[in-house]
Amino acid sequence: MLLFKERIQKILAGIDISIDGARDWDIQVYDERLYRRLIARGSMGLGEAYMDGWWDCRKPDEFFYRIIQASLHTENRGIGHNFYKLISNLLNKQTIRRSLQVGKRHYDIGNDLYKAMLDKRMVYSCGYWSGNPPAGGLDEAQENKLDLICRKLKLKPGQKVLDIGCGWGSFAKFAAEKYGVEVTGVTISKEQAALAREMTKGLPVEINFLDYRKIEGIFDRIVSIGMFEHVGPKNYRTFMKVGGRNLKDDGIFLLHTIGGDYPDTNLDPWIEKYIFPNGAVPNIESIGKSVRGIFIVEDWHNFGADYDKTLMAWHRNFENNWDKLKERYSERFRRMWNYYLLSCAGSFRARDAQLWQIVLSKSGFPGGYESVR
């Protein structure tokens, strides 16, 4: 056991993290079995040990920022990551049947949780804090993001818009109210669909519980906000073909997705097991291959640093509202959810993960597309 501890201590000391230290990013170890678990299971062991209360940290986001900035998360993933990578390369983990798993296990957890954590419009994707002027809070950052998307899509009253992965209807409601468009939204979460219909009642909005591969109809505009991470690399080309099939020839498609520069698109094993089953983060190459011959890339906007602020705002809301939630959710769930939010914040802070908004057209926007920021 001592040998394992010395090895972990040496690794952490190399990036200025101490065991049982006094700084915000130092970890406090409550169970000595942690070290063997880290050596054997890498990032999976780290996350599960946190859920079990074996270690803690005053500011886990700062701990993860240092871990990820030093690339320790990719160098010490353990055998579990290699297993997930092998399965991903062999199988299509995001078939129509399997795609429902993330709806049931993540988005259907409980609308009360997401109401407590998110902004007033319930937007579950990165806010736009870095506009001009910068957003003063989460509600404003999400309003700015929704309006930014509408302006990038160049929406006009009466247009028909398809929202692939519509969540709780935040974009559909905003676009219908502010820009006078008709919106068809699709989601694979029954809880999202039910609340989205309630939130958009009386507006020209239709919400469908439907896999994107079954979408029918022709639309002036298509938008997908924070859904592409559930598509999977074996289906990226199919996803783009669906977009091409359902978009008018002079239409615009905006894709809002987390992305990374790394060649491995698999999620961290802990994130995949406990938060987003069957998830995958695209890279530039995979997106480029998927759109070839279907779309022209008109604009590529990265504001990944804003996701750090968004995640930290969600974490504050979650913690501030915990007393309202704890009767339905366990303390282990609380630690799991905090680990998810704060580890992701550290990833975006380290700029390991990015947030991309990509504007696509089928044959080139007439006269050239003018970028919107």
What is the maximum alpha-carbon separation in the chain? 69
Q: Show Cβ contacts of residue 14 under 8 Å, excluding neighbours closer than 6 positions.
A: 70
Residues 4 and 211: their CA atoms lie apart, in Å, by 46
Nearest CA among 334, 250, 259 for reference residue 295: 250
3-class SS of residue 123? coil
CB atoms within 10 A of CB 262: 13
Given 57, 126, 150, 344, the catalytic residue: 344
Three-state SS annotation for 153-193? HCCCCCCEEEEECCCCCHHHHHHHHHHCCEEEEEECCHHHH
- 298 close to 361: Cβ distance less than 8 angstroms: yes
Residues 320 and 332: their CA atoms lie apart, in Å, by 17
* Active-site residue flag, 344: yes
CA atoms within 13 A on the CB side of 340: 18
Q: Tokens 């995979």: give the residue.
A: 286
Residues 338 and 210: their CA atoms lie apart, in Å, by 30
- 124 close to 168: Cβ distance less than 8 angstroms: yes
Distance, CA of 266 to chain centre: 13
Nearest CA among 355, 358, 354 for reference residue 372: 358
Indicate which residues carry an active-site annotation.
344
